[in-house]
Structure 1
Amino acid sequence: MRRLYSLLLGSSLLFCLSACPLIDPGDRIALPRYKPLLMARSQLEQAVAVLPPQALRNTGKIYLRDPYIYINERYEGLHIIDNHDPTHPEPVAFLRIPGNVDVAMKGSLLYADSGPDLLTFDLTDVRQARLLHRVREAVPELPMPELGDVPTEYQPQHRPADAVVVGWQKL
């Protein structure tokens, strides 16, 4: 009986394997192509601002620090939402931070990336967020959102010297 089960299992495996198409190692899967979104460093450093609430469009990470919710708008900044009443969360402000994808908090201090820079904000009053400090070139260049390819003309050696990557656009 055991031999019969082994024979049936082996036959089933052979049948399944014979139905699978062979993959040619020479076949290449086309990867999506991206171009970097560039901003002059001087413009990057002047662009941080507290703005009125904005619509949520391309959200990323969410950070909860009672009673506020912070929602990343990929490459653009941070939505600040008052969650005192969880049944009626209320947008408070949008903190524009070009090239932002990640945040962390300690006390009333918010740490956020801005392209290659690390920014520290005082959020004692979220409606009046204040930039306290900028560390230039503190984090690596923003990676592409998924596996992809960057055409030669967009490689780092072809970019203007004062340009920093603040996002990626699919071609």
Structure 2
Amino acid sequence: MSLSACPMVDPIDPVPLPSYRPQLMARSQLEQAVAVLPPRELHNTGKIYFRDPYLLINEQYEGLHIINNQDPTHPQPVAFLRIPGNVDVAMQGSILYADSGSDLLTFDMRDMAHPSLLNRLREAVPELPMPQNGLVPPQYQAANRPADAVVIGWHKL
């Protein structure tokens, strides 16, 4: 009878996790930063929401591109709704719900070219998570941030 052993396997070096630092904004600045701006180029897009004939395209952590898609062969940019810390939206009727850091905002979207902010519910959603598993160096952890700081994005170190 022969004994066989498992072949020797070289240990695999663990893959180091990336480090991130939060992009912070003072709450007072965050609450004043929501604005309707002229259309701009799309760069770091996220989710797309369709509200016939409009497309709302998220610019991750920055806001929403509003595009008239009446003629899909020639979509027309209408405006950019700046919402710092925005990653998600939903609509019911003419009301748009959008996150802004840890806040929940509601907008009246009856006039897509001129959305109006109706309400801000502070601390309604969890703090923006890192885009993938990673580490936050001690100097950037929540305990070491200014008291009035809100996470509106993440930068890979």
User: Would you say same fold, with TM above 0.5?
Assistant: yes
Corresponding residue number in structure 2 for 1:160: 146
Any residues of structure 2 matched to 1:1-171 within 5 Å, and which?
21-24=9-12, 27-171=13-157
1:21 Cα deviation (Å)? 4.7
TM (norm. structure 2) is 0.93
> In structure 2, what is the Cα distance between the partners aligned to 1:46 and 1:22?
56
Deviations 1:71-92 (A, max 9, x none): 0000000000000001100100
> In structure 2, what is the Cα distance between the partners aligned to 1:23 and 1:119?
50
> In structure 2, what is the Cα distance between the partners aligned to 1:67 and 1:90?
11
**Inter-CA distance 83–21: structure 2 relative to 1 (3 Å threshold):** farther
Deviations 1:134-164 (A, max 9, x none): 0000000000001111001000000000000
Q: Where do 5+ consecutive residues of structure 2 fail to align? A: 1-5
1:29 Cα deviation (Å)? 1.5
Deviations 1:14-55 (A, max 9, x none): xxx96x95435xx43211110000000000000000000011
Which runs of at least 4 in structure 1 moved beyond 3 Å after TM superposition? 20-24
> In structure 2, what is the Cα distance between the partners aligned to 1:90 and 1:119?
25
> In structure 2, what is the Cα distance between the partners aligned to 1:21 and 1:101?
43
> In structure 2, what is the Cα distance between the partners aligned to 1:80 and 1:21?
55
Instruction: Give the percent of matched residue pairs that are identical in Structure 1 and Structure 2.
Output: 70
**RMSD of equivalent CA atoms:** 1.4
> In structure 2, what is the Cα distance between the partners aligned to 1:135 and 1:23?
50
> In structure 1, what is the Cα distance between the partners aligned to 2:27 and 2:65?
23
> In structure 2, what is the Cα distance between the partners aligned to 1:105 and 1:118?
13
> In structure 2, what is the Cα distance between the partners aligned to 1:53 and 1:148?
34
Question: Max radius of gyration: which structure?
Answer: 1
Q: Which structure shows the bigger proportion of residues in helix conformation?
A: 1
Corresponding residue number in structure 1 for 2:3: none
SS in 2 for 1:84: coil
> In structure 2, what is the Cα distance between the partners aligned to 1:70 and 1:21?
52
Aligned residue identity for 1:23: P
Q: Where do 5+ consecutive residues of structure 1 fail to align? A: 1-16
TM (norm. structure 1) is 0.86
